[in-house]
Structures are given as C-alpha cells and as structure tokens.
Amino acid sequence: MRTTRRAFIKAIGAGALAPRLLRAQSGRSVTDSVGRRVTLPPRVERVYAAGPPASILLFAMAPDKVLGWTSPFRPDERPFVPARYADLPTFGRLTGRGNTANVEVVLAARPDLVFDYGSTSPTFASLADRIQEQTGIPYLLIDGAFDRIPDAFRLLGGIIGVDEQGARWSRYAADTLEDIRARVARVPEARRPRVYYGRGPSGLQTGLSGSINMESIERAGARNVAAELGQGGLVQVTIEQVLRWSPEVIVTTDPNFFAGVWGDPSWRSLPAVRERRVHLAPGLPFGWIDSPPSVNRLVGLHWLGRILHPQAFTEPLRPIVRDFYARAYHQTPSESQLDALLATDKPPET
Amino acid sequence: MSAAKTSAALALSAVGLVALTVVAFAIGRFPVAPGDFAAVAWAWLSGGTPDVPATVQTVILNVRGPRILAAIVIGAVLAAAGAAYQSLFRNPLVSPDILGVSAGAALGAVLGIFFALDVVFIQALAFACGLAAVATAYFIAARMRGHDPILILVLAGVVIGALLGAGVALIKYLADPYNQLPAITYWLLGSLSAATRADFLSVLPAAAGGMAVLWLLRWRISVLALGDDEAASVGVETGRIRAAVIAAATLMTAAAVSISGVIGWVGLLIPHLARLIVGPDFTRLLPVATLFGAAFMLAVDTVARTAGRIELPLGVLTAVIGTPLFLWLLATARRSWQ
Amino acid sequence: MKLEARDLAYGYRGHVVGQGANLTLSAGEIVCILGPNGGGKTTLFRTLLGLIAPLGGEVLLEGSSLHRRPRSAIARMLGYVPQAHTGYFPFTVQDVVLMGRTAHLSPFATPLRSDREQAMAAIERVGLATLADSEYTRISGGERQLALIARALAQATPLLVMDEPTASLDFGNQVRVLETVVGLAKEGKGILLSTHDPDQVFLCADRVALVHRGRVTDIGPPQSGLDAGLLRDLYGVEVQVSELDIGGKTRRVCVPVAAQSAISDRE
C-alpha cells in the first residue's frame, strides 16, 4: 500500500513538473546580437518591444505581434498608422537603469519575449540578464547599428517566427542601403556638399562624426561641417562656429528653427540660407533622420539623397515614400498626407 | 517624553509597518488574488511548492517582494542616518546628504552609465564614490583645524557636493542622448522599479552594520547634542564618536543610494516627525525614526508603482509628498529649537 | 583628589592667552578665579578640563598628566558647569541632568534605573524637582544654570569647575547659586569657579587667583590677600575694601569709591 501511494505521489509530482520540462525541450534556443543564448517558446505571438527603436522594428515587420508602445501617439502622428495599432496600450520603456515601464504591467500583458534594438553595451546586456532572471521572460538584444539593419530584420524575423517577412525586409533594407551607397560613390568627394545638421529650437545643437544622429546624413554622402570637432555624440555650438563653417546645406528637424531661420539676421548671411538650401526633415509618424534611430531612417535616405545630390537621385520621391509607408506603417498615405510630408522641406514663399 | 509614550509610538509604528507590508504585497498592477499571496507565502515559509501559476509566483517573489523589502530597508536607513546627523550636527535641518554621499554616489553611477558598464559595476562604483566623497570631506576638514569642527565639516561637505554635482552635470552634457541620458536622468530621480533580490541582499550587510553602530552608540550620540565641550566634559570621546557615526551613516546611505538612486527628503523629514512625537533623546528617536522611515518609503514606493500606468520616480514623489508635509510641520508644531 | 596647573601656558594654536599659571584645587576647598571679562578665564578653564591642549607646562590630575587620561576617566574626577545657554533641542531638565551620568556608563550602555535615581536626587538637591519634566529651553536662565549644576552633581565627581556660574542671573539667583556652591564644598567637593565680582570672592572663596594680562597669580585667602590696591590694578577703578560683621562673622566687601563721592557731593 505504502509503496503504491509513494509511487502515486511521485507520478503527480512528475506530472506537475512535466509541462515545464516539456516546454523547455520543445522550446527553441536562439542567440541574440550579444551572444546570449535564450530559450523561446515554440510560438511567439506576444512581443514586448522595450524601447522606441525596437517598437518600430517590430511594427514594420510583424504589427500583429506588437503588445503596445513605449509612449502614446501624438494626434498628428496617429493618421499615418491604422487606428487598431495606434490604439494599443502604452507601457513605457524597459530600457536602461530606470525604466518607466512598470514590470508588473509588462508581466500582466503576458509577453512571450521582450527585446530591445539599439545599444549592445555591457550595461544593456547586464540589464537584459537581470530582467530575464527577475521575470522569467526571455529578453533579447539586437544590434542597432545602421549598416546592420538588414541583419536585424533577419534575426528578429527568425526569432519571432516571421522568417518570410524578415527575409523580405532584409532584402528591401539591403537594397536601399546598397542603392544609396552606390549612387553616393559616384559623386566625387569634392562635389559632396558640406552639411550642417541643426537640432533643437535654436538650431545650435549638432552631431559629431560617427554619432548615431549623423548616421543617415553621413551615409547619404554629406560632409559633416562639425567633423573637425572630433568624434562623439551631440554638442552645442555657437553661431560664430556655424558662420565660420559656412555650410552649403542645412538640415533640421525642428519646425520652429526652420520657420525662424529665414528672418534671423545671423543665419541669413549664410550661403545655405541665401540659396534656400535649408531643409526641414519630415517627422510623421517617426522622424526621417534620427528620432528614433531605427528603421524609419530608411525613407530619409532617399530624401537626403535628393537634397544633397539632385543629379544622382533623379527619380521622384513620392512613390518611394508611399511604398515605404505602406510597408513599414501598414497604411498607404493619402495624397494630401504625402503633400504635407513632402512640402515641409520647401522654404516659405516670400 | 515618557517611556510609555515611546513604547506606544514604537508599537504602533511596528504594527503599522507590518500592515503596510501586507497591503503592499496585495496591491499592484498585476492582479494577484489574496489566496495566491497566502499560498505563496506559506509555501515559501514551509518549503513546499504552491499551486499558483508561475507568473504569479514570479510577481510575488521576484518583482514585488524584493522591491518591498528594499523600500523598507532604504527608508529605515535614510531616516536613521538623518536622525543621527541631526544630533551630530546639532541642527534639525540636516539630511544624510550633507557630507556629499549622494553627490558622490551620483557621480559614480553616472560615470558607470557613461562608460556603459555592467549594472553591477555601476552600483559598485556608486557605492565606492559615495564613500570616497565623504572620506574626502572628512579629511579636508581634519586638516583644517579651527574652533568649530562641525562647521568646517559641513562646509567641506557642501564644497565636495558642489564639485561632484558639477561633474554629474558635465557627464549629462556629454552623454549619449538615446542610450545614456534617460538612464542617467532616471537614476538621479530615484527609483526601485528594477530592484531585484540581489540588490536587496547587497544592501543588507551595510545597512545592518551601520544600524548596529548607531544602536550601540545611541546614548553617546544623544549626549553629543549638548555640544562638543559639554559632551567631552561628561565623558564622551567626541572626535571618535563623530567619526564612527559618520562612517556608519555613510556606509548605510551609500549602499542604499547605489541601488535606488538619489532619494531626498526622507532623511530630513522623518527624523523631524519622529522627534515631534518622542522627543530628541536619540535612544528613543532612533528606533521610532527607523520604523517611520521604513513605513514612509514603503508607502511612497507603493504609490509610485500603482498610481499610474507607468512608474513615477521616487525622488519626485518624496519631494511632492514631503515638502507640504514639512511646511505643515513647521507651521503647526511648537518651535522645537530656539 | 587634586587638580594642579604647573607653569601652564594656555591659548589657541599660535596665540598665547596666558602663561606661567600655577594653581591647585583640592577636595573641600573653593578656589575663585577673579579677573575682568575677556581676560582669558574661559580659555584657562577649557585647558584645565582638557578640552584644549596646553601650550606649555602641564595640567595634572591626581599627580599624572590630564591629557594622557581617557575622557571617561577625567569625567569621573572632574565635572564642568558651563555658563547656561539655550539648547538646540527640547530636552527635558531630567534628560540634561541624566547626561551627567555618562562617565559611569560602559561604552554601549544606556542609563540604568540607579542612574535615573541619582539624576533625580541631584535635581532635588538644587531645588528644581518641580521642573524635572520641563523643557530645558523653556525655563529661566537661573533655572538652567541650576540644571547644569545638577548635571555636574549627577556626574558625582570630587572636583567641579564652574565657568561664571552667576553670569546673567538676577541678584536672588546669584546668591542661591553661591549658597549651593558653599554647601557642596562643605560636603567635600573641590570647586574652582570664575567670577568678575569681588564680592562673590569674599563670600565663598577659600583662595583666590587673579587673572590679568596673561598672568595668573594665586594670592591665597581673599581675607588676607585681596586688598583695594590689587583690585585697582585689576579693574582700573578706585575701590574701598571694608569689613562687615555678618551674623557674628567678619566678611570683607568691596565698594566702588567713585559713585559714592558723586552722591556725597550732592548732599
């Protein structure tokens, strides 16, 4: 009697453990961009993107697996994205020490995996390990380097089980990058314009060489006037420095700066302003140059190409933009929306 | 203040803390049924496996549990350090940050984030720099002999704190705005949102050690409030006691700040509140302030993680709740100092 | 029990306030330090108590150097009654007096019931029993001074050092404090107290030392040693020292001369 009861209890215990073991055995093992091996469930349906760049990467490739956003859509951003996606809940960021996301809220959403797209430094790798250990949810890091965008698509596609979309996007991204690269290569060094990228309302914040903010602009074959200041991130400069650099083209993302630069006596003296080569980058629903630094920048490359090297980029921009938005944001923009997007880089009529 | 009043205050605050802990475990953004909580608690105590979904267990044992315990320890530590410093510096407006420990820890953490170090090293750097800042202030003050060692110590702390603050500002300026600056900003605002079991265990030894020192020296710390000359004349080795209190308070505070970021007001406000109830005698003030601090921090952290859909920073909440409370104390309480 | 200063030079680093001081204080006697304000009496006392280091010479307690002894040992032999001041925190009189027992506690201990009883006895001895639970910061200056004396009594030391214990007290409280001092000496304590008032010296002192221009001169019993000439040198004013018969005993008093002549001129 006793032995049968003991055997019975053992069987129950094994039965209780069995689902866990079964999961582990049938789960897939994947490796992320920093070499961390993570075990995933066989089907990944619910994905939590831990930061804005990750959100866009996921949304472009597999919008139906998106659980929510890190910050809500602004009213002027909403029209570019189907309502059912724009209405998804907001979770906050789970990146960096000091996430705004409430871990319990994330857990309550029952994600199959969490991933982040961008920096793969030891800080982020160790944070990923901690959160994974704390919550039991697999956490993956994908390298956000500009040149590795095609790899990112393929890796994420394989992880979440949308290999076909992953391959398609990877090809699209690789083709875009190669196309831009080839055209820029044909423009001689001396004919590449000297560009100043002015950020913020005063326009006096710019990116140094190699900074994540300058990646698009530099890939599009611009010579960064701030390169002489060295390598790094963002810096504040003075108007005297800009005047000394005398850029041929000015690119900005701030509408207030763009509106005011034409009348400002200091800026007016610059050749770029006189020749009306100041351009406001479109930013809806996501920036075309750098905010956030994710796959949304791909469309910006085409736009930059036309601004910087009109001879090398002769095809109309409009169909490219329409196509990109339909692919990436899953909604073909209306003609008036396209007008609004493409008109922002024209100087005001005076 | 009578011994009876003190015992009543102690008992009430202990009971209050326990009640608050139960409430904190019960509420949160992840739905946890009371029965589940009881099952997990019982299983954890008796060593069995509860019949509760794995995610719920994770929430209770890995997410809420360490966070609640960390909040209790940090609140207790900051309040105790504040109470000790207020006696030591004979000034009710002193906080544990006065010698620069928070500024030092901030610089350490910010440097760690800037150099993209592993989180464990960021915490360790914060801890080490917090200690180093106070040690520097202490040794500067020791070299500058004068009539008033307390004043020189405070001035040295203020100067070091200002210097380190400038360092933090510089790093913020240079940091990567996408990957580093949000992390830095949030660290400086204080948060327990990522507190893990390891965090809690790492802060425990320093907290226990520091509290033990304060507890052992509690009578002499009380006597120090008489002033250096009089305390010495009744037999207190003022220099040594002062050094021991500063070492203990700094150790505890640096450990707390290294896992929670900068959290202000607790160390200033809670000792005040406790003093209003049980009087300035440190032997009574220490236990009451410690319990009050733990309860306050737990309450604020619970609000931080339940009030909104996203987390609210602790440092902001303690200021928002603490400032009006402090003003009210100043206005309605009797002047407790001339 | 004896406190002794031998050829003591005192002051702060780099600044000598007084030198060549020779003093002794034994149990059962009252020694007064007389001198004008600003003359360095407090600095002398702080040096005698070991709160600042001597700049020259030595301070001996029971024959061995004071500064080599640990604080708690000194505190069991020498008590300090500073000038009454306002406090920073609202301790009660009982709290303040109880702190005097610190020297008798082991390093990590808190006061025991016997300590509390001794503190209460000291409070009663100085007549403050009704104020025992009052806040120290809210009682009058005179009461605060008595509380500080009670603290020194609770400290149960054979020797006491009192720095201007009657400063800022009214006439009645001054007399009360001096009566307490005399009573303590009769009980066997040795008391060193500083004052700027010659009459107080005549009232209670067994010996007096003058502190003037950096020199400390022990002139022995005031009845024989303290005369008008010395007081004129000390204070720069004309005085007359007379003897009065008070309750069958002769006591000297010091009366300023200048004010008197103005009145008599008017008569």
In a domain, C144, yes or no: yes
Residue range A37-63: average pLDDT? 91
Domain assignment of residue C184, yes or no = no
Q: Among the listed ranges A123-127, A249-253, A297-301, C97-101, which one has the minimum average pLDDT value?
A: A123-127
Q: Locate tokens 């150790």: which residue?
A: B251
Is the pLDDT at B335 greater than 80? The verdict is no
Tell me if A98 and B122 make a contact (CB, 8 A cut-off). no
Return phi, psi of residue C34, to 5°: -110, 135
Statement: residue B337 has pLDDT above 70: no
Closest partner CB to C51 (pick from B222, B229, B275): B229
Q: Is C189 in the B-facing interface, judged by CB distances under 8 Å?
A: no
C109 has a chain B CB within 8 A of its CB: yes
Position A24 scores a pLDDT of: 42
A350 has a pLDDT exceeding 60:
no
The mean per-residue pLDDT over the stretch C28-56 comes to 89
CB B338 to CB C88 under 8 A? yes
- Binary contact (B337, C88; C-beta < 8 A): yes
User: For the segment B212-234, what is each residue's pLDDT rounded down to a tens digit?
Assistant: 999 999 999 999 998 889 999 99
Q: What is the pLDDT of residue C32?
A: 94
Model confidence at C38, pLDDT cuts 50, 70, 90, reads confident
Q: Is the pLDDT of residue C264 over 70?
A: no
Set of chain A residues whose Cβ sits within 8 Å of the Cβ of B176: 119, 212, 233
What is the pLDDT, as a whole number, of residue A19?
Answer: 37
Span B151-194, pLDDT tens digits: 899 999 999 999 999 999 999 988 877 778 888 888 898 888 87
Contact B225 C103 (CB under 8 A): no
CA separation for the pair B296, A266 (Å, rounded): 55
Distance from CA of C141 to the nearest CA of B (A): 14
> What percent of chain B is modeled with pLDDT above 70?
97
Q: How many domains does chain C have?
A: 1
Give alpha helix (H) positions in chain A.
2-26, 52-61, 83-86, 103-108, 122-135, 149-160, 163-186, 215-219, 239-245, 255-261, 265-268, 271-274, 297-308, 318-329, 335-343
Average pLDDT of the residues of chain C: 88
Q: Which long-range contacts (CB under 8 A, 24 or more apart) does A184-192 make?
A: A184/A219, A184/A220, A184/A221, A184/A305, A184/A309, A184/A312, A186/A312, A187/A221, A187/A309, A187/A311, A187/A312, A191/A309, A192/A221, A192/A222, A192/A223, A192/A308, A192/A309
pLDDT at position B91 is 87
Residue B256 pLDDT > 60: yes
B267-322: pLDDT as tens digits: 999 998 899 889 899 999 999 999 999 999 999 999 998 887 778 889 889 999 88
Tens-place pLDDT, residues B257-273: 999 999 988 999 999 88
Instruction: Tell me the DSSP string of B256-302.
Output: HHHHH----SHHHHHHHHHHHHH-S-HHHHHHHHHHHHHHHHHHHHH
Backbone angles phi, psi at A92, to 5 degrees: 90, 175
If you average pLDDT over residues B107-116, what whole number do you get? 93
Residue B337 burial (10 A CB sphere; 0-12, 13-18, 19+): middle
**Nearest CB to B178 within list A16, A126, A212:** A212
CB < 8 Å to B313, chain A: 98
From chain A, the residues in CB contact with B194 under 8 A are 97-99, 103, 127, 130-131, 134
For residues B84 and A24, the model is more confident at B84
Residue-wise pLDDT for A64-97, tens only, equals 999 999 888 999 999 999 999 999 998 888 765 4
Q: Which residues pair with A143 in a beta bridge?
A: A118
Nearest CB neighbour to B235, from listed C75, C95, C109: C75
Question: What band does B138 get if pLDDT is binned at 50, 70 and 90?
Answer: very high
Q: Tabulate helix, strand, coil % of chain C (nearest 5).
A: 40, 30, 30
How many A×B Cβ pairs under 8 Å?
135
Mean pLDDT, rounded, for B67-72? 95
pLDDT, residue A134, reads 87
C232 inside domain? no
Find which of B220, B228, B234 to mutate to test the C interface (most C CBs within 10 Å of its CB).
Answer: B234
Contact A229, A241 (CB under 8 A): no
Is C200 domain-assigned?
no
- Give the E-state strand segments of chain C in sequence order: 2-12, 15-26, 30-34, 56-61, 64-65, 78-81, 159-162, 190-195, 207-212, 215-220, 239-246, 249-256
What pLDDT score does A15 carry?
A: 42
Largest CA distance in chain B: 67
Chains C and A in direct contact, meaning 3 or more beta-carbon pairs closer than 8 angstroms: no
Q: How confident is the model at residue A18 (pLDDT cuts 50, 70, 90)?
A: very low
Say if residue C3's pLDDT is above 80: yes
Inter-chain contact B338–C71, Cβ cutoff 8 Å? no
- The pLDDT value given to residue A14: 43
Mean pLDDT score across all residues of chain B: 90
Residue A270 burial (CB count, 10 A)? 22
* Chain B environment of C137 (Cβ under 8 Å): 337-338
Backbone dihedral angles phi then psi of residue C41, each to the nearest 5 degrees: -65, -45
Note whether C75 contacts B233, CB cutoff 8 Å. yes
**Is residue A231 very low, low, confident or very high in pLDDT (cuts 50, 70, 90)?**
confident
Indicate whether A348 pLDDT > 70.
no
Chains that touch A (3 or more CB pairs under 8 A): B
Smallest Cα distance from B317 to chain A, Å? 14
Q: Which domain holds residue C84?
A: 78-156
How many Cα atoms occupy the beta-carbon half-sphere of B150 within 13 Å? 17
In contact, A151 and A52? CB cutoff 8 Å: no
Q: Is the pLDDT of residue A21 over 50?
A: no
Interchain contact C82–B (C-beta under 8 A) = yes
The answer, yes or no, to whether residue C40 has pLDDT greater than 90, is no
What is the C-alpha separation between A172 and A169, in angstroms, rounded? 5
Contact A107 B30 (CB under 8 A): yes
- Three-state DSSP at C113 gives helix
Q: Closest Cα to residue C18, out of C51, C50, C49, C54?
A: C54
Is C144 in CB contact (< 8 Å) with chain B? no
Q: What pLDDT score was predicted for residue A118? A: 87
User: CA of C225, closest CA in chain B: separation in Å?
Assistant: 32
Q: A95: helix, coil or strand?
A: coil
Q: Which of C12, C61, C89 to mutate to test the interface with B (most CBs of B within 10 A)?
A: C89
Confidence (pLDDT) at A176: 93
Listed range (A23-37, A171-185, B167-181, C213-227) with the worst mean pLDDT: A23-37
Spatial distance between the Cα atoms of A294 and C17, rounded to a whole number of angstroms: 76
A196's enclosing H/E stretch is strand A194-198
Cβ–Cβ pairs < 8 A, chains B and C:
92
- Asked if B78 and B96 count as a contact pair (C-beta separation under 8 A), the reply is yes
Q: Which residues contact C199 (CB under 8 A, 6 or more apart)?
A: C253, C254
More confident site: A18 or B133: B133
ipTM of the complex: 0.88
Give dist(CA A104, CA A95) in Å, integer: 15
CB C59 within 8 A of CB C3: yes
Chain A residue numbers with beta carbons less than 8 Å from the beta carbon of B183 are 95-98, 123
Distance between CA atoms of residues A244 and A12, nearest Å: 80
Chains that touch C (3 or more CB pairs under 8 A): B
Whether C122 is covered by a domain: the verdict is: yes
Distance of residue B249 Cα from the nearest chain A Cα, in angstroms = 25
Q: Answer whether residue A141 shows pLDDT above 70.
A: yes
Residue B323 has pLDDT above 80, yes or no: yes
Residue C258 domain-assigned? no
The pLDDT score that the predictor gives to residue A121 is 86
Q: Please provide the distance, in angstroms rounded to a whole number, between the alpha carbons at the two ends of chain B.
A: 19
**Interface membership of A118 toward B (CB under 8 Å):** yes
Angstroms from B112 CA to nearest CA on chain A:
9
Please report which confidence band the pLDDT of residue B195 belongs to, taking 50, 70 and 90 as the band edges: confident
Query: Is C106 inside any structural domain?
Result: yes
For A205, the enclosing helix (H) or strand (E) is strand A205-207
Tokens representing A253? Answer: 């993302």
The chain B residue lying nearest A100, using CA atoms, is B311
- Please state whether A164 falls in left (phi above 0), alpha (psi between -120 and 50) or beta: alpha
Residue C42 in this model has a pLDDT that exceeds 50? yes
Q: How confident is the model at residue C260 (pLDDT cuts 50, 70, 90)?
A: low
Give chain C's largest Cα–Cα span: 70
In chain B, the residue whose alpha carbon lies closest to the alpha carbon of C133 is B1
CB C151 within 8 A of CB C129: no
pLDDT over 50 at A280, yes or no: yes
- Whether C105 is covered by a domain: the verdict is yes
Determine the residue type at C64: S
Mean pLDDT (chain A) is: 86
Q: Which residues contact A46 (CB under 8 A, 6 or more apart)?
A: A65, A67, A109, A110, A111, A112
Q: Once rounded to an integer, what is the mean pLDDT over residues A309-328?
A: 92
Residue in A closest to B196 by C-alpha: A134
**pLDDT at site A11:** 45
